[in-house]
A and B are shown apart, each in its own frame.
Chain A
Amino acid sequence: MKRISFSKLIFIFLGGVILLFIIAPLISMTMATSSTSLFETATDKEVLNSIWLTLRVAFLTTLFFALGSIPLAYVFARYNFPLKKLFTGLIDLPIVIPHSAAGIAVLGFISRDSTIGGIASTFGLDFVGHPIGIGLAMAYVSVPFLINAARDGFEAVPERLEKAALNLSASSARVFFTISLPLASRSIISGLIMMFARGMSEFGAVIIVAYHPMITPVLIFERFGSFGLKYARPVSVIFIAVCLVFFIGLRLIIKNKHDAKD
């Protein structure tokens, strides 16, 4: 029989503890939730509406911000310009600041007292307490995941392939859409998934910008505060299940794609 070395055993043990730390609370939460309460929650209109709102806003926000983030990531990957390192660092800023502070920052930016919020309110649009406000709060803390992943993806595309495409009479736009983008697609989709998942699970920034309409993380918090653990738990289990379905499904989509890392 193959012998396992002592150091390997230590590694397996320590790794196992960490894995258990991640999985155990989720399993215990699921086990502690009765099927009756799960069924009741799954048919609760307030819960369903909030899950639908969370998914819809996170998805549309991700798509909308991808329009600017992907070109920005390409610029970071391909061009050198003054203060590039500073700008690259700034991209990571929303990840490292407290999310409630991020929410305060976004609120200051979109409230009716701000320029942008003021202009929007003249058209009858109030970002605060509106799905757009929720989307902006989600985007603020999640867009760095997309930009960083897309930049890594573009950096992995050999410039020679882009030059070869230019030499084959393709315009710069065509080179971007037929060479750079498809070859970086796996990283970009990974970034999109991360941004979507991060946006969907955001609580701290969103609750400051919009308590209502209630996205699921806020609903979980509200039920916990008002009714206790027993009522918050089934919503959490259902929402985690929804998140997992999306996460696994989207990961499977990118599994068989050709890209620059092949």
Chain B
Amino acid sequence: MLKINKLNKKFKDFNIRNLSLDITKGDYFVILGKSGAGKSLVLEMIAGLVQPDSGAIFLDDIDLTKKKIQDRKVGLVFQDFAIFPHLTVRNNIAYSLKAKHESKQIISEKVLRFAKESNVEHLLNRYPSKLSGGEKQRVALARTLANNPDCLLLDEPLSSLDIQLKEELRELLRAINKRGITIIHVTHDYEEAIALANNVAVMHNGEIVQSGEIHEVFQNPKNEFVARFTGVKNFFEAEIINRNQAKLNNKVTFQIPVQTKPIEKAKILIESKHIIISPNKIESSATNSFQGKITKVIEIPFGFELIVDIGIPLAVLITKESKEKYNFKARENAWVSFKASEVKIIL
């Protein structure tokens, strides 16, 4: 378990203030925040690259705060990968093993194992200048994993990758996490949090604004900043039952964009602003149309948010004028509809 206790760090124009976090062993924890929120700095303090002014960091009850960088058992994957340009992929992955004076045979075995896991075994003799962004990211991961960290720190690991590579790397990160390695992943992208996190913390101006289980944070934002930043409430685990249909909670079936490759499970996401609510069923090109009961009407700065139970709770945004015009109230029935193309599949 990683425990961060009241961490403070002062810079000229930026402060980390009283930052505390509890991350359970084996968790996939995402720290969400805009650029400049201080996310990367938190990782660098955990890794020991930056010393906090006060506060403490414990990993499995061992105080890391004053420990040397080399003795912390945390592996940091930098946003820009920090691959050593003068070493081949093989020597990059072997770097920590050589530093620990492992035997040649063990180095060779481990390099191959971690290269295979990260799918870079065909690149072992290449120099980093000949690698793509995705390949560099995988090499950085393999190199860090070869050092056998108890906790993996990922600084915006997917930000420079295209969609296809993002999906592949997410799969790899899930597999690494399944092996029992605690992962702390910082990002500005809420979709990454939805795709990977068990727990999240939202960070703003050097402070943790809200943290907890991902659904809890996204569906019950503590304040307007979190609500605006997390931005989306309608995301669900879904079973992809065929190329263009997904089943949610074993209850509701959504029409989804046609999938070109076979998928069994995925997270699906529909932004509230793309859902139309009406008192009666309306004829339209939207292939998803459900009757449900309005369970909550919440006033928000730019209108109202209605939660409609269609077997799953669906958040819908409407303006004040629409609410007055159609007189939507809690406990009344309504119809919601949205296009299949607005359903986003996150792998």
Interfacial residues, chain A to chain B (CB-CB below 8 A): 158, 160-161, 163-171, 174, 178-179, 182-183, 258-260, 262
Partner of B78, one of A164, A169, A259: A164
A259 (CB) vs chain B CBs: closest residue: B86
A–B complex contacts, Cβ < 8 Å, 8 sampled: A158-B82, A161-B84, A167-B75, A168-B99, A169-B147, A170-B70, A183-B84, A259-B85
Given contacts A167-B69, A168-B95, contact A160 B147 (CB under 8 A): no
Answer whether residue B96 sits at the interface, using C-beta atoms and an 8 A cutoff. yes
A residues within 8 A CB of B143?
Answer: 168
A residues within 8 A CB of B47?
Answer: 167
Contact between chains at A167 and B76 (CB < 8 Å): yes
User: Max chain A CB contacts within 10 Å: which of B82, B100, B143, B147?
Assistant: B82
B residues within 8 A CB of A167?
Answer: 47-49, 69-70, 74-76, 144, 147
The size of the chain B interface, using a CB distance under 8 A, is: 23
User: Max chain B CB contacts within 10 Å: which of A169, A170, A179, A182?
Assistant: A169
Given contacts A160-B80, A259-B86, contact A166 B70 (CB under 8 A): yes
A162 (CB) vs chain B CBs: closest residue: B82
Answer whether residue B287 sits at the interface, using C-beta atoms and an 8 A cutoff. no
> How many cross-chain pairs have Cβ atoms below 8 Å apart between A and B?
63
B residues within 8 A CB of A170?
Answer: 70, 95-96, 99
Contact between chains at A164 and B86 (CB < 8 Å): no
Is the contact region of chain A dominated by helix, strand, or loop, or is it mixed? Answer: helix
User: Max chain A CB contacts within 10 Å: which of B99, B100, B144?
Assistant: B99
A219–B69 Cα distance when bound, in Å, is 57
Partner of B95, one of A158, A165, A182: A165
User: Max chain B CB contacts within 10 Å: which of A160, A164, A258, A259?
Assistant: A164
CB distance from B84 to the nearest CB of A (A): 6
8 Å CB interface, B260-309 against A: none
A182–B74 Cα distance when bound, in Å, is 26
Contact between chains at A183 and B86 (CB < 8 Å): yes
A10–B138 Cα distance when bound, in Å, is 53
B residues within 8 A CB of A262?
Answer: 85-86, 129
Answer whether residue B127 sits at the interface, using C-beta atoms and an 8 A cutoff. yes
CB distance from B262 to the nearest CB of A (A): 38
Contact between chains at B80 and A168 (CB < 8 Å): no
Given contacts A160-B78, A163-B49, A164-B76, contact A169 B84 (CB under 8 A): no
